[in-house]
Amino acid sequence: MAAIKDPYIALKFPDYRYYITTRILLAMALQFQGVIVGWHVYSITKDPLSLGLIGLVEILPNFSVTLFAGHFADIYDRKKIALTCLTILMFSGIALYAITHTVPDGHKQIALFYIVIALTGFARGTLSPSLFSILTECVPKEHYLNSTTWNSTLWQIAIMVGAGSSGFLFAAIGYDAYLVMSVLIFFAIISFSFVSPKPHLTKKDAKAPILSSIKGGIKYVFSNQVFLGALSLDLFAVLFGGAVALLPIFAQDILAVGPQGLGFLKAAPSVGSFIMAAVNVYWPPVRNTGKKLLFAVFGFGVCMIIFGISKNFYLSVFILAVSGACDNISVVVRGTIMQTLVPADMKGKVFAVNSMFIGSSNEIGEFESGMAAKLMGVVPSVVFGGTMTLLVVIFTSFRAPKLKNLHFEEK
């Protein structure tokens, strides 16, 4: 496969640099929240279901608002919507800090945590369609593949740094780390304010009935075999392979590596994803794209099975890194499909449908993992999830031939 002519082309656009800086800061902040809240909750309850409930209470408001958010992202000022949601996320970190330091009862803290996380779910569900729609306006269409790859690469670096440092940050300053989350989002707001306003639809377009508009986005997704196949692969892989939600249990009870070890486990997928993303920048998956996608998701399922049965910390970190590399291919391919194939006036709605399924699969996957771990045991539940992922890939390879034979044109 030939390398693209200029692997840094997307980074030469100022709006894209401001946009990606915002994404980096936000990703790091949310990693701090995820790692520290997960550790905090499990330390109090010692119940895997309590970890699953974190995902559930976040996804319910996220799920309820996402489709409407996609409609609004196509007719209103996307930048204002995004800035409002970022502000809510900033104050959520302050709220977590305040709860930790003012509520002495641990179980009352958890109940209040769930409320704050539900609020962040609402904000993230509203934010995502607008943020994606703005991304497609930051670079010309011919550079979408490059911008998607850099978006994934730098996002994974942020997750890697955020997750990897969260354990050390927690060890150094304890639950004051929640304030660090808010500071990062504050700087994300400043960076995003420099992104130039992006066009939205005219008032005439805005008169379309909201339910009809949402229905149009859903119809587009389910009538496009390539898009639906890629979405389904990621949906079920994340749903059944959601071992990440159980990492506090592996860190405390199985591998016995403490919060620092949890940070490394949490960061490992991003390390692998970053390495694969760096490869994709120079050698993007433009040939045999569909087959590479199927192979990558199959590899992700195999990684989950190996991780589930591993009792060695270093093997577990390595295999999680490999799973991240596999996942990155899926992210890049699906993101490029969305940017390339979806019409401009449908991007918000279509991304909302995608976000509703893929975004929700992360949180529902966390809940499924917590419930399965409680019913089946931690290790059997992870092995079961990986096995189901393999079966989904095999099924998709037969049911979505257009996806299997997908190629992107090289630029």
144-156 confidence digits (pLDDT tens): 777 877 877 787 6
Residue 29 pLDDT greater than 80, yes or no: yes
359-393 confidence digits (pLDDT tens): 555 656 666 677 777 778 888 888 888 888 888 88
Residue 235 pLDDT greater than 60, yes or no: yes
Q: Please count the CA atoms within 13 angstroms of the CA of 98 that sit on its side-chain side.
A: 8
SS (H, E, C) 157-212: HHHHHHHHHHHHHHHHHHHHHHHHHHHHHHHHHHHHHCCCCCCCCCHHHHCCCHHH
Nearest partner of 71 among 200, 177, 263, 247, judged by Cα: 200
Average pLDDT over residues 280-305: 80
Average pLDDT over residues 181-202: 83
Look at 47 and 348; give whichever has higher pLDDT.
47
Task: Give residue 199's pLDDT band: very low, low, confident or very high (50, 70, 90).
Answer: low
Look at 164 and 195; give whichever has higher pLDDT.
195
Region of poorest pLDDT, from 146-160, 217-231, 351-365: 351-365
Task: Give residue 296's pLDDT band: very low, low, confident or very high (50, 70, 90).
Answer: confident
Check: CB of residue 355 under 8 Å from CB of residue 125: yes
Helix ranges, 194-288 (H): 203-206, 210-223, 225-240, 247-249, 258-282
Residue 254 pLDDT greater than 80, yes or no: yes
Nearest partner of 156 among 38, 7, 282, 326, judged by Cα: 326
1-20 confidence digits (pLDDT tens): 444 567 788 888 999 999 99
What is the radius of gyration, based on Cα positions, of the chain? 20
Tokens 């590479």 belong to residue: 292
Average pLDDT over residues 160-175: 78
Residue 166 pLDDT greater than 60, yes or no: yes
Residue 408 pLDDT greater than 70, yes or no: no
- Class of the domain covering 14-194+210-404: mainly alpha
The Cα 185–Cα 388 span in angstroms is: 37
Q: By percentage, how much of the chain surpasses pLDDT 90?
A: 14
Residue 295 pLDDT greater than 80, yes or no: yes
Average pLDDT over residues 249-266: 83
Check: CB of residue 270 under 8 Å from CB of residue 326: no
Kind and range of the H or E run holding 91: helix 78-102
Task: Give residue 130's pLDDT band: very low, low, confident or very high (50, 70, 90).
Answer: confident
Q: What is the pLDDT of residue 2?
A: 43
Task: Give residue 26's pLDDT band: very low, low, confident or very high (50, 70, 90).
Answer: very high
The Cα 280–Cα 273 span in angstroms is: 10
Mean pLDDT of the chain: 79
Q: How many residues comprise the chain? A: 411
The Cα 74–Cα 213 span in angstroms is: 10
Which of helix, strand or coil describes residue 138? coil
